[in-house]
Chains A and B, each alone.
Chain A
Amino acid sequence: MRESAENRKLLTRRRALELLGAGVVVGAGVVLAAVRTTGYALPATRRLAALADWQFVVVEQAARRIAAPDDGAEGHVPSPDEVDVAGFVDEWVSHMDRPVRRDLGRFLAYLEHVAPFGAGCVSRFTRLRAPEQDRVLRQLEGSKNDLLRAGFEGLKSLVFMGYYRSPRTWRLIGYDGPLLGRPSGGWR
C-alpha cells in the first residue's frame, strides 16, 4: 500500500516534470515557428502553389545571388526576379514528392536561420547584405557536411532551372533554343 502511494507520488512528480518539459518544448516550438515564419511580406498578387511565404522569400533572395549577373556583361542581363525564378521554383516544388519537399523546406530553414552564424553573421539570411549572403552560400557550397552541400546543390539546380528556362537568358550563352516553335527571329 505504502509502496504504491510512493509510486503515485513519484508518478505525479514525474508527470509534472513531463508536463513542464512538454510545455517548454511546445513554447520553444511556437517561438521558433513565429521567428521562422513572420516578417516575410509577399506582393498581394502573388499566389503560392507549394512554398510558404517565408520559404518563397528565402528562395527569391538566394536566387538573386546564385544567378547574379557578371560584371563584364554587354547589354541587359535579365535578373532572376525578371524571369521570376522564385515563382518557377514554387510551381516546380508543387510537383515534387512530399519527402523531397520536406527536405527542401528543412534546408531553406537552415539557410535562413542557422547558416548565417557559420559565416559570422547574426541576422537571418534574408536580412543580410549581398556580400554577406554570398559568404553564407559559399560556406554551404564548400561545407564539409555532405548533406548541407547536397542541399546547396539542390537549391542551385532549382534556381538555374528557373533562370535558364527562360528564352531571355539564352542569348547570354549563345544557345538558340528548341527547334520546335522557334520564332522566325529566333528566341529572345
Chain B
Amino acid sequence: MALSADGFVRGRDMTESLVKLDVDAVVVGTGAGGSVMLRELARAGLNAVAFEEGALLASRDFNQREDDMIPRLYQDAGARTTADMAIRVLQGRGVGGSTIHNTNLCKRTPDAILDLWARKHAVAGASPDDLRPAFEAIERDLAVSEIDPAMRNANNEILRRGCEALGWRGSPLRHNRVGCVQSGFCELGCSYDAKQNALKVVLPQAVEAGARVYSDVEVVRIEHDGGRVTGVRGVARSEDGKPRAEVRARTRLVVLGASAVGSAALARKSGVPDPHGVLGRGLRLHPGGVVAGRFDEDVEGWRGIPQSYECTEHLSYEEGSDRRVWIVPAFAHPVGAAATLPGFGASHMGSMRAYRRLAVLTAMVHDETSGEIVVGADERPVLRYAMLERDRKQLAIGLAACARLLLAAGAREVTVPGVYPLRITRRADLDTVDWSSIRPHSVPLTAVHPLGTMRMGEDPSGSVVRSTGEHHQLRGLFVSDGSLFPTSLGAPPQISIYAFALHLAPHAIESARAG
C-alpha cells in the first residue's frame, strides 16, 4: 500500500487489488464536517480513517485556470444539476471537500434558526448557548476574523454603496483566511495557502493525532447487520476514474460527512433502515440568481476577495417570514460570466467586452422548498427539487433588490439574465419588469449550499438521526455534515457544519468506545 509518511494515502497509487482495514472508525468525506470528526476521533485515541472520493491536491496544484480546476474541484466536473436541470449545484470534490473552493464565509447559525429547530424539529442540546463553545473553538482553529475594509474589492464596495444609498441593512463578513494576497481565485482553490480550511488546518491536525486520510476512494456501501454498522466497502480509482482496488474496512463506527447529497445517496443505496420514509427528504439548496450592472468606470470584479460584504435588508430568519433573501457579490471569472450573461454570438461578445466594467450580485433564497435525494440507475445521486411558489416569489424579490442596489450604486444599466427587458437603465424601469415571469429555467440559478437530507431531531418519525448525530435505527452510524440541518440556514453553512461536528464528536467517540 502506498502509505505516505504524513498519513495521506492516495488510492490512485494503491498496488494491491484488495485493501482490508480493521479500524475503530471510518469517516466518509473530508469536508468541514468529516475533517473535524476525524480529528476529534483521532485525538480521543481511536484508530480512525477517512475516505474521500476526490483527489488530494495541494496549493501548488491550484493554477487559477477555470478549465483545469473546475473538473478537479467540483462534483460531476461542475455539471451537477437538479434532475430537471433548472439549478446548477456546485459541490466540492477532493480532500477538504467544499472548503477548498468556497469563498471562506463564516456566519454562525442564526439564533432564530437554532430556536426554530428546538421548537419545531425536536432538536435537543443545540441552543445558542450549547453551540457557543464549539463556534468559539472552531473559529479560533480557523482564525476567523472580519475582513479589513481596506481589503474590500470594487464589486463589494458597490454593494456597500448601494446599501448606503438606499438605507438598506448591510454589513462586513467574517472569513477564515490568513495571509491572503487578494488574488480573487478563491473558487479555484487557494494557490497561496491562505485559506484556513479542512485541507490546510483540520486534516493535518487529524493526521498528526494518528488518523489516516485515503483520497481517490469512493465508499459505495455502508455494511450493517442486526441493527448496527459493521463496516464499509469502497473502490479506489486511478486518475482516469477506472477502478484500481477494492477497499474494505471493518468498523463499529461510520460517520457520514459526504454532504447532503453524497451522504443521503450512500445511506439510501446501502439500505440503511428508513421506517418513516424520511431519509433523503428535506433537501434545501439555498438557490440563487444573479444580476449584473454595467458601470462607467472599471470594476475589475475578478480582483480581490470575492465576498466581503452582505446585504440583509430582505433577510429575516423568523419562521414564516416573507423576507428570505440574502444578497452578496458574485463576480465570476470569464468562463462563468460568459455562461451567465444572456444571448450568444455577436451581441454576447459585445456584453463580454464590458466585462471589466461589470459588477455582479446574487440573491440567494433561504428556501422552504423540500427536495429529495434519490439514487439513479447508475447509482449516482439524483437531486429532485421543484421550487415552491413562495420561494419563487422570494427569488423575484431578491433579483429586483439586486437591480435596485446596482442602480443606486451608480450602474449605467443592469441585466437580469433571462428577464426582459434585458437592459434596465433607470430605477423607474424596474416597475415595468414582469418579475412574475422569474422562475427556475427562465433565469440561470446556482446552488452551493445543499442541506437537510438526514436531518436531526428526537422524533424518529420526522428525523433520520438523533440530536447526537447518531442514526435512530442503525447503531454506530453518525452524520456530520449539512445533511443534519432540519431547515435552510439562510447563510453559508461551512462554519455551522464545522461547529456541529465539534459539538457532536463526543457522542461519536462514546459510541466507538462502547463498541
Instruction: Write the residues of chain A forming the contact surface with B, with a CB cutoff of 8 angstroms.
Output: 65-73, 77, 88, 92, 95-100, 134, 137, 141, 146-147, 149-151, 153-154, 156-157, 160-165, 169-170, 172-175, 178-181
Q: Given A70-B353, A173-B356: A95 and B338 within 8 A (CB)? A: no
Check B378–A70 contact: CB distance below 8 A: no
Q: Given A97-B76, A146-B441, A153-B444: A174 and B346 within 8 A (CB)? A: no
* B67, B77, B343: the one within 8 Å of A165 (CB): B67
Check B346–A70 contact: CB distance below 8 A: yes
Q: Can you pick out 26 interface pairs between chain A and chain B where the beta carbons lie within 8 Å of each other?
A: A65-B344, A66-B344, A66-B345, A67-B344, A67-B345, A70-B347, A72-B350, A77-B349, A95-B71, A96-B79, A146-B85, A154-B85, A156-B339, A156-B344, A161-B339, A164-B335, A164-B352, A165-B67, A169-B334, A174-B356, A175-B334, A175-B355, A178-B63, A178-B64, A179-B183, A181-B63
Bound-state CA distance A72–B353 (Å) is 11
Choose among A69, A100, A161, A172 the residue with the greatest number of B CB atoms under 10 Å from its CB: A161
Instruction: Write the residues of chain B forming the contact surface with A, with a CB cutoff of 8 angstroms.
Output: 63-67, 70-71, 76-77, 79, 81, 84-86, 181, 183, 185, 191, 241, 298, 300, 302, 333-335, 338-339, 343-350, 352-353, 355-356, 376, 378, 380, 440-441, 444
* B67, B241, B350: the one within 8 Å of A70 (CB): B350
Check A165–B65 contact: CB distance below 8 A: yes
Check A157–B339 contact: CB distance below 8 A: yes
Q: Which residue of B lies closest to A77 (CB)?
A: B349
Check B334–A164 contact: CB distance below 8 A: yes
Bound-state CA distance A8–B367 (Å) is 61
Check B85–A147 contact: CB distance below 8 A: yes
Bound-state CA distance A41–B67 (Å) is 27
Contacts of B79 in A (CB 8 A): 96-97, 100, 154
Q: Which residue of A lies closest to B333 (CB)?
A: A175
* B183, B185, B338, B355: the one within 8 Å of A160 (CB): B338
Bound-state CA distance A73–B350 (Å) is 9
Bound-state CA distance A135–B490 (Å) is 41
Check A92–B185 contact: CB distance below 8 A: no
Bound-state CA distance A149–B335 (Å) is 19
Choose among B84, B345, B347 the residue with the greatest number of A CB atoms under 10 Å from its CB: B345
Contacts of A66 in B (CB 8 A): 344-345, 348
Q: Which residue of A lies closest to B79 (CB)?
A: A100
Q: Which residue of A lies closest to B353 (CB)?
A: A173
Check B356–A161 contact: CB distance below 8 A: no
Q: Is the interface of A mostly helix, strand, loop or mixed?
A: helix
Contacts of B86 in A (CB 8 A): 146, 150
Q: Given A137-B344, A178-B65: A163 and B444 within 8 A (CB)? A: no
Q: Which residue of B lies closest to A102 (CB)?
A: B378
Q: With A66-B344, A174-B355 given, can you name 9 additional A-B contacts, CB distance below 8 Å? A: A95-B241, A146-B440, A146-B441, A150-B84, A153-B339, A154-B79, A165-B67, A170-B334, A172-B352
Check B183–A165 contact: CB distance below 8 A: no
Bound-state CA distance A172–B352 (Å) is 8
Check A98–B356 contact: CB distance below 8 A: no
Contacts of A157 in B (CB 8 A): 339
Check B66–A165 contact: CB distance below 8 A: yes
Q: Which residue of B lies closest to A101 (CB)?
A: B79
Check A88–B67 contact: CB distance below 8 A: yes
Contacts of A72 in B (CB 8 A): 350
Bound-state CA distance A58–B287 (Å) is 32
Query: A59 → chain B, closest Cβ, in Å?
Result: 14
Q: Which residue of A lies closest to B356 (CB)?
A: A174
Q: Given A160-B339, A161-B67, A161-B339: A96 and B77 within 8 A (CB)? A: yes
Query: B394 → chain A, closest Cβ, in Å?
Result: 20
Check B349–A69 contact: CB distance below 8 A: yes
Bound-state CA distance A95–B78 (Å) is 10
Contacts of B440 in A (CB 8 A): 146
Bound-state CA distance A100–B394 (Å) is 30
Contacts of B444 in A (CB 8 A): 153
Check B345–A68 contact: CB distance below 8 A: yes
Contacts of A162 in B (CB 8 A): 67
* B70, B183, B338, B380: the one within 8 Å of A99 (CB): B380
